[in-house]
Amino acid sequence: MNSEPQVTEALVRAANGDPTALDTLIPKIYAALRQLARRQRAHEAAHTIETTALVHEAYLKLVTQGGATFTDRAHLYAYMSQVMRHILIDHARRKKAQKRQAPDVTAPEDASDIIDVLAIDEALTRLAAVDSRLAHVAELRLFADLSSPDIAAALGVNARTVERDWLKARTFLAACLMPAA
Amino acid sequence: MIAEFAQRWPEIEPLIDQLFDVPAAERTDWLHKHCGDATLRALVAQALDHAAGNEALERGMAQWLPGLADDVPEGLPSIAGYRVLRFVGSGGMASVFEAERELPGGPQTVALKLLRIDVHDAEERGRFLREQRILARLQHPHIAQLLDAGFSPTGTPFLALEFVAGDDIVRHCEQRGLGMRERLALFIDVCAAVEHAHRSLIVHRDLKPSNVLVGADGCVKLVDFGIAKLLTGDGERTRTEARRLTRLYAAPEQFSGDTATTAIDVYALGVLLTELICGQKPRRDSQNDAEPTSSLDSHVLRKRLGIDLHAIVQEATRQHPNRRYASVSALSADVQRFLDGKPLQVRADTLAYRVFTFARRHTFAVSTAAVAALMLSGATIAGLHEAHLARRAAQDAHMQAMSAKGEARRADALKIFLEGLFDSASPETKGTETIEQLLAVGRERADRDFAMQPALRVEIIALIGDLERRSGHPDRALRPLEEAAALAKTQFGAGDRRTLHVQYLLAKELDELGRVHEATAGLQSAVSAFQSGPNPHSPEEVQALAWIAGLDERSGDSAKAIEIGQQALTLARRVLPDDSDALTEAVLNFGWLLMDAGHPEPAVPLLREALARKRSHLGARHGDVADTMDLLAQALMQSGRYSESEQLLRDAVSMDTSVYGRPNAHTAWHLNDLANVLAFEDRFNEAEALYDQSMAIDLAVAPAADLTQAVSIGNLARLRFAQGDYVGAEAGYRDAIARKQRLLGADYGDNNLGYDKARLAEILIARGRLDESAPLVNAAVAEERRRYRDAHPDTAFALMIDAELMAASGDHHRAADLCEEAVAMYTALDDQRTDKAIRARLLLGDLWLSLGRNVEAKSQLEAVLSTLSTITPAPSALMAYAKADLARIDASLGDVDAATRLHTEARALLSDVKPGPNADRDAATHLLASAGTERHEPAGAMAIRRQPHPQPPR
């Protein structure tokens, strides 16, 4: 694996308080998070503080982990996707616990359209047990929001393979999520 | 399934890898060619059939980040004829824009809805446009008018609707902090709109807060009518519809792809009502999905909604469409009734329908609708009309059934419900345990559901207490009744008839527990408070008065008791309708107290009347009917009509068996009295078997029947006495007394303590232990004299035992004086035929004879014999004794012929007496044997035997 100087540099900058540093590394995911935060402010809606908290949480985790050196993009992505996965799972669990106490006011309306993160997590773990590479691709895709070419570049394989792996992973996950249709 | 899938993944993976390159239409054939394993084929085929899952996975992370799920579309769409102004929002099915429609009269602001479906082929496009034309005809002040529909240049279908500047209904209410009445008023408007649509044969199918808007002017506007249908069409696409639907608001049958009926909207309105009142989305209890009940049923909800609205919601959201409100108007009408404080249709229904027989008719009518709905499945909008009509018809049938019962008030319905549960406890349905559970549940409901309706709560708690008592659990009945009485006083006030009624129930309970004084005091003051209140002369007053009379009788004031009893009955006959329960109670109580006061003759016709009334009110077979039969039987017993009494008691016992199903304290009482009457008929063995049976029941239902058990033990001891087994009699009677002492404590004084002392003394005299019996006799006489100012059977009995003691001690003069007083008392009471009265007169005859007053003795004995001849069946042993005794007197007067004739008759009678130990037979035999050898045998304790005394089951 090739050590990428700009990764280390960006992390150092981030650790020093430069909020744009990470943008260069994980463009899409971080942009998404930042966009979320902006929308939050713009709407000032009842749409819960949870998304903001989520962004901050992810950011903090990433920054405080800055000491851990990411030798390359692949490691950073892998780490990032895992952080995101855990954050979302925590978030989902918290929400579930709250729901047990009181009906959820803030749940998105069309709950049926949205796949439960916890279910995805479970399915991913299942997939990892039978085919870790597929699981890895799926994780990057789902939790780092990376495109097939991004993933291909990070893993050093060609994009077509990644795309094919994703299709297979998707089939597996969908089968786990939608049993006995 | 998933496990199998994961396990076989290594085999599945290469197959799907290749299948990705095979066109979808050829995949099945390809699989058959390349995979011989059917199971594996199925797994692969299924895995490839998860379009929705794939779609969701493709959306990726964004869907879990709230607010990002529906991103703002790039730019604004362009649609001919409209000027799109801005993006408003988006939901699962569409993006909405505010736009201006160019019209000749100027621009009109519209909501432009771009649907997220692709309508490609001409047929689908045609259908879409046809449907929208139907929808466009839907015009109602509370429905956002559909103005136009068409396709964007890219082929996206769009709808143009009347633009509503406002919030969804829930947010509107929350933000303005609207009260419940205002919210319900809005809800009724929503219902009106939906109802209107249903009349036009259009089902909304996707009612939810975001489709129910409230404009700035506070006017409700429903949007998206029938759009769910536009989106999905019929038949094979319903599964897709299920995924698109808002899960919470979708009726269960929508998931299974059943045809859209108005019931779907009723369901969604139920959910909307919940969210509207609670301000939050209710949770669907998935565990309930299998139950035929509502999906929205939880304690939390019930608490937040209150019992009435909760009932409405439940009825609207029943799992099975045919069990929901038959129409939106029915739902809306109940909400209106709630607002008006009127009884609800639904509650009368759900509570009553378990009780009344119309349930079957009701079910039948509804299932007719179900059949109609099935036949119409897959039908188009037009078909809906027929389904609608079928539902209406079903509802009409249902309404007719309801009106058979009339508009039962809610409280009445609940009462009927609970009483129904109790009364229907026949063997084939529920046993005692189930009743216990039901009552426990009833209690729980009273506390939980009626917390906000204290008046109803009082009535229900009292009812539960009374039902506990009536089902033979006086031990459990006291607490709820005391609680209800206390609540009633604060809730209704002391002068209210309901307070009086609860106090009456409590008095009955205390009475049953033997706490006569408490019962009397409480009820007395309740009656006084009521009589000074605004509405005297009510059924409750009659009941209370009647019971006070009974209590007075037992606390010793027979004259007052009879006066009040008569007063209560007169009042009842004057103010109550002829079929009134309270009138029946008054008749029954007066008869009962006359009997207890020692007037069996006037008691019999009253008790007969009471029985006839109970039969006509409650039907031929009922626990209360059996109890009344027992009372009448006791009165008949006291007037010497043993045969009739026995028959009645046998009928009562057999009725108990079918009414209660399980051992019950009432059955024990009735068996006990049956045994008593058999003992009078000298059928000791049969009697003993019944006492045993009665006590076995007492044991089974202990501790409820501990007191009855003590009474039975006493009765059995008296049976031993009648058999001449004095040792057994003493042991048994002492046991009975000890038990009563323990159970009743200080209250024993009000519960025949004097009588029991006299009975024990009688046994001791028979055993020759006169010194021991003397203090008992003295105490008994003193207690009864103190208790009863007037003539009373118990005083008479104590006096007779005293006479026996005196006779046994050799003081015949004193004995004769005491016995004369006793006989005079029985005469004053017009109590001639009871066993005790007869024996007192026999003893008096013997005593006169021993004092040389032979002529008086003879006429006394002749009178006794004439009384005995009216007893049915004739008590052979006692009659034989009386004849032998008279023969002795005749012989002493020199009438040898008469004596001989009497001897012959006595011997003949003795041959009728059943074998087995019998003290009367032994005494008679002894007299016959000693005839001629002893001229003036003094009447001794050995000669006179008494028999069991019937004890009323109180």
The domain spanning residue B194 has which CATH number?
1.10.510.10
| Closest-approach residue (CA) in chain B for A127 | B6
Q: Are B873 and B643 in contact (CB under 8 A)?
A: yes
Tell me the H-state helices in B200-327: 227-232, 238-244, 252-255, 262-278, 299-316
B185 and B39 share one domain: no
Cβ-based contacts of B47 with chain A (< 8 Å)? 171-172, 174-175
Tell me, yes or no, if A31 comes closer than 8 A to chain B by beta carbon.
no
CB contact under 8 A, A35 and B68: yes
Distances (CA, A) of B622 to B358, B616, B737: 21, 11, 33
Q: Mean pLDDT throughout B126-151?
A: 79
Choose from A82, A145, A171, A172 for mutation: most chain B CBs within 10 A.
A171
Cα–Cα distance measured from residue B692 to residue B668, given in angstroms and rounded to the nearest whole number: 10
Using a CB–CB cutoff of 8 Å, tell me whether A80 touches chain B: no
Q: What is the pLDDT of residues A43-58, one digit of tens each?
A: 433 333 444 455 555 5
Domains of chain A with bracketed CATH: 1-105 (no CATH), 115-181 (1.10.10)
Residue B894 lies in a domain: yes
Q: How far is B649 from chain A (nearest CA, A)?
A: 59
Q: In what order do the strands lie in the sheet with B82-90?
A: B82-90, B94-101, B108-115, B157-162, B146-151
d(CA B38, CA B415): 61
| Per-residue pLDDT at B648 | 94
Q: Greater confidence, B387 or B463?
A: B463
| pLDDT per residue as tens digits for the range B268-291 | 999 999 888 887 676 665 444 444
| Residue at which a domain ends, from B710, B729, B748 | B729
The more confidently predicted of residues B274 and B557 is: B274
**A143·B281 Cβ contact <8 A:** no
> Which tens digits make up the pLDDT trace of A134-168?
999 998 888 877 778 878 887 888 888 999 999 99
Domain CATH code at residue B629: 1.25.40.10
C-alpha torsion sign, points B920, B921, B926, B929:
positive
Q: Which of B703, B729, B755 is the last residue of a domain?
A: B729
Distance (Å) from the alpha carbon of B13 to chain A's nearest alpha carbon: 7
- Between chains, do A126 and B57 touch, taking CB under 8 Å as contact? no
For position B91, what pLDDT does the model report? 60
Determine whether the interchain pair A179/B1 forms a contact, defined as Cβ–Cβ distance below 8 Å.
yes
CA distance A168 to B43: 14
B731 with B739: CB under 8 angstroms? no
Residue B808 has pLDDT above 90, yes or no: yes
Number of domains in chain B: 6
Query: Do the domain assignments include residue B788?
Result: no
The percentage of chain A sitting over the pLDDT mark of 90, rounded to a whole number, equals 7
Across the interface, do B246 and A167 touch by the CB < 8 Å criterion?
A: no
Q: Is residue B331 domain-shared with residue B191, that is, in the same domain?
A: yes
Whether residue B270 is found in the same domain as residue B320: yes
Q: Which member of B49, B121, B167, B206 is catalytic?
A: B206
> Which of A36, A99, A107 comes nearest B65 by C-beta?
A36
Q: pTM for this one?
A: 0.46
Based on the domain organization, do B170 and B158 belong to the same domain? no
Residue B708 lies in a domain: yes
Domain range for residue B17?
2-49
Q: Do B68 and A114 touch (CB under 8 A)?
A: no
Q: Report chain A residues whose CB lies below 8 A from the CB of B17.
A: 164, 168
Do B113 and B238 sit in the same domain of this protein? no
The per-residue pLDDT for B533 is 78
Out of B139, B163, B187, pick the residue that ends a domain: B163
Q: How many CA atoms lie within 13 A of B350 on its CB side?
A: 19
* Cα angle value B492/B495/B496 (rounded, 5°): 45
B584 and B716 both lie in a single domain: no
Q: Which two structure tokens, joined as six digits, stand for B256?
A: 């299974």
User: What whole-number distance in Å separates Cα of residue B804 and Cα of residue B847?
Assistant: 10
- The residue ranges of DSSP E strands in B505-561, in sequence order, are none
- CA distances, B779 to each of A67, B771, B775 (Å): 102, 13, 6
Name the minimum distance, in Å, from the CA of B12 to any CA of chain A.
Answer: 10
Q: Tell me the mean pLDDT in the region B82-98.
A: 74
pLDDT (average), residues B835-849: 93
State the CATH number of the domain containing residue B707. 1.25.40
Q: Is the peptide bond before B873 cis (omega within 30 degrees of 0)?
A: yes
- Report pLDDT digits (tens) over B635-687: 999 888 999 999 999 999 988 887 776 777 778 888 999 999 999 888 999 99
pLDDT digits 0-9 by tens, B157-166: 888 888 888 8
Residue A36, pLDDT above cutoff 60: no
How confident is residue B240, by pLDDT bands cut at 50, 70 and 90?
very low
Residues 6+ apart with CB under 8 A from B59: B69
Is B220 in the same domain as B332? yes
- What pLDDT shows up at residue B777? 95
Q: Is the pLDDT of residue B413 over 60?
A: no
- State the pLDDT confidence band at B595, using cuts at 50, 70 and 90: confident
Using alpha carbons, select from B775, B767, B842, B849 the residue that is nearest to residue B808.
Answer: B767
Residues B629 and B560 in one domain: yes
Q: Please state, in angstroms and rounded to a whole number, the distance separating the CA atoms of residues B757 and B753.
A: 6
Q: Answer whether residue B943 is part of any domain.
A: no
Same domain, B125 and B257: no
Q: With respect to residue B758, please indicate whether it lies within any of the assigned structural domains.
A: no
Rounded Cα distance between B230 and B116, Å, is: 11
Output the pLDDT for position B624: 80
Which residues, 6+ apart, have CB-to-CB distance to B824 below 8 Å? Answer: B791
**B chain contacts of residue A168, beta-carbon cutoff 8 Å:** 13, 16-17
For this structure, is B756 an active site residue? no
pLDDT for the residue numbered B511: 79
Judge if B266 and B215 occupy the same domain: yes
What is d(CA A6, CA B707) in angstroms, rounded to the nearest whole number? 95
Model pLDDT, residue B157: 81
Note whether residue B510 is domain-resident.
no
CATH of the domain at B109: 3.30.200.20
Interchain proximity B9–A107, CB inside 8 Å = no
Beta strands B220-222 and B212-215 are antiparallel
- Separation of alpha carbons B424 and B661, rounded Å: 10
> What contacts B38, CB < 8 A, 6 or more positions away?
none
Segment holding B112, helix H or strand E: strand B108-115
B605: in domain: yes
Same domain, B618 and B706: no
Q: Flag whether B300 is in a domain.
A: yes
Q: Do B577 and B682 share a structural domain?
A: no
Per-residue pLDDT tens over the stretch B317-358: 888 777 788 788 889 988 988 888 766 666 443 332 222 222
Closest CA in chain B for residue A164: B17
